[in-house]
Chains A and B, each alone.
Chain A
Amino acid sequence: MKLLTHNLLCSNVRGLRPGGGFPLRIQVRACPSVPAVEVLEGFLQCPDSGRQFPISRGIPNMLLSEEEA
Chain B
Amino acid sequence: MKILTFFSLFSTFLSTNSINVEENAGQFFSSGHTNNWAVLVCTSRFWFNYRHVANTLSVYRSVKRLGIPDSHIVLMLADDMACNHRNPKPATVFSHKNMELNVYGDDVEVDYRGYEVTVENFLRVLTGRLPPSTPRSKRLLSDDRSNILIYLTGHGGNGFLKFQDSEEISNVELADAFEQMWQKRRYNELLFIIDTCQGASMYERFYSPNLMALASSQVGEDSLSHQPDLAIGVHLMDRYTFYLLEFLEDIHPASKANMNDLFKVCPKSQCVSTPGHRTDLFLRDPGSALITDFFGSVRKVEITMETINLTDPIKEAEQNPMSEKLQKVTYSYVDQLPVSEIIHQKPKQKDWHPPDGFILGLWTLILLVFFKTYGIKHLKHIF
Do chains A and B interact in one complex? no
| Residues of chain B having any CB pair with chain A under 8 Å | none
| Residues of chain A having any CB pair with chain B under 8 Å | none
